[in-house]
């Protein structure tokens, strides 16, 4: 199935399937603040039953393999899924973003070129918006490529107010910034999050708005479970910190995702 003479370069896409898609909407959720984007993208993939059709390798991903629970390995990669529905979707997720400035640009441009061939016109990138304090009811802030999109999407409850000259770093920003030059339009949906822990609650807030925009119907039970699990861990960390102890025991829990 895979090319035996394949050489991984700055962005090497290996297809396991070449689906037929009609102007698919591109959705991106890669690791970032609170892991909100990745959690949301992965949950969406599970809930709608999207199918993986390509792996993306890069000399700009960490030079390492991940060891799965069964003892087998997996090379650092990003993954592309598709879903055929009222609106076709292509979903980008993975465990890594490019490590270098140039790598970020090259990876994003390769992905945009791929979806451009499918006719993609609309992009939603998903991420977290760190506010430094715990958030009970996370709002979803947006940033758009075009003013008309803001008008169109404000009715879904996305806040497009002044972020005080902030920036969106990484794939969530670049996909939109470079996508604009390739005649695409899009929005970055950022769930409010403390930024200190993975945040399934913020991922849910983002996903509820996205599902509403895309008019797909999904459940949130798994995100809910994760949120409760994280919440318990957070409480335990607090207790440990208040009792002055056991930083080490708690330390690894921050990154459970």
Q: Which residues bind a copy of itself (CB under 8 A)?
A: 2-8, 14, 59-67, 69-76, 98-102, 104-106, 108-109, 113, 116, 142-147, 150, 160-163, 165-170, 173-174, 176-178, 180-183, 188
**Residue found under tokens 């899009």:** 186
What φ, ψ does residue 54 adopt, rounded to 5°?
-160, 150
**Residue found under tokens 């709002």:** 139
The nearer residue to a copy of itself, 131 or 218, going by C-beta atoms, is 131
CA distances from 60 to 69, 95, 112, 135, 215 (A): 25, 13, 17, 34, 36
The nearer residue to a copy of itself, 48 or 198, going by C-beta atoms, is 198
Please state the closest distance from residue 13 (CB atom) to a copy of itself, in A.
13
- Nearest C-alpha neighbor of 25 from the set 160, 122, 137: 122
The nearer residue to a copy of itself, 137 or 162, going by C-beta atoms, is 162
**Residue found under tokens 């769930």:** 191
Please state the closest distance from residue 255 (CB atom) to a copy of itself, in A.
9
Please state the closest distance from residue 104 (CB atom) to a copy of itself, in A.
3
- Containing 91, the helix (H) or strand (E) segment is strand 89-94
The nearer residue to a copy of itself, 219 or 249, going by C-beta atoms, is 249
Please state the closest distance from residue 231 (CB atom) to a copy of itself, in A.
21
């Amino acid at each position: 199935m895979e090319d035996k003479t394949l050489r991984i370069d700055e962005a090497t896409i290996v297809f396991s399937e070449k689906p037929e898609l009609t102007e698919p909407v591109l959705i991106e959720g890669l690791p970032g603040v609170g892991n909100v984007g990745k959690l949301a993208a992965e949950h969406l993939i599970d809930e709608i039953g999207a199918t993986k059709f390509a792996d993306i390798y890069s000399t700009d991903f960490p030079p390492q393999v991940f060891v799965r629970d069964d003892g087998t390995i997996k090379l650092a990669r990003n993954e592309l899924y598709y879903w055929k529905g009222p609106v076709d979707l292509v979903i980008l997720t993975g465990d890594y973003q490019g490590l270098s400035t140039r790598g970020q640009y090259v990876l994003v441009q390769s992905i945009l070129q791929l979806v451009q061939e499918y006719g993609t016109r609309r992009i939603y990138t998903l991420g977290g918006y760190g506010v430094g304090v715990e958030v009970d009811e996370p709002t979803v802030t947006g940033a758009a490529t075009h003013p008309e999109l803001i008008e169109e999407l404000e009715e879904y409850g996305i806040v497009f107010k002044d972020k005080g000259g902030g920036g969106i770093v990484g794939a969530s920003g670049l996909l939109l910034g470079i996508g604009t030059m390739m005649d695409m339009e899009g929005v970055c949906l950022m769930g409010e999050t403390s930024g200190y822990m993975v945040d399934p609650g913020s991922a849910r807030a983002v996903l509820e708005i996205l599902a509403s925009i895309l008019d797909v119907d999904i459940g949130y039970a798994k995100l809910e479970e994760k949120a409760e699990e994280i919440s318990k861990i957070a409480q335990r960390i607090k207790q440990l910190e208040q009792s002055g102890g056991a930083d080490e025991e708690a330390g690894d829990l921050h990154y459970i995702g």
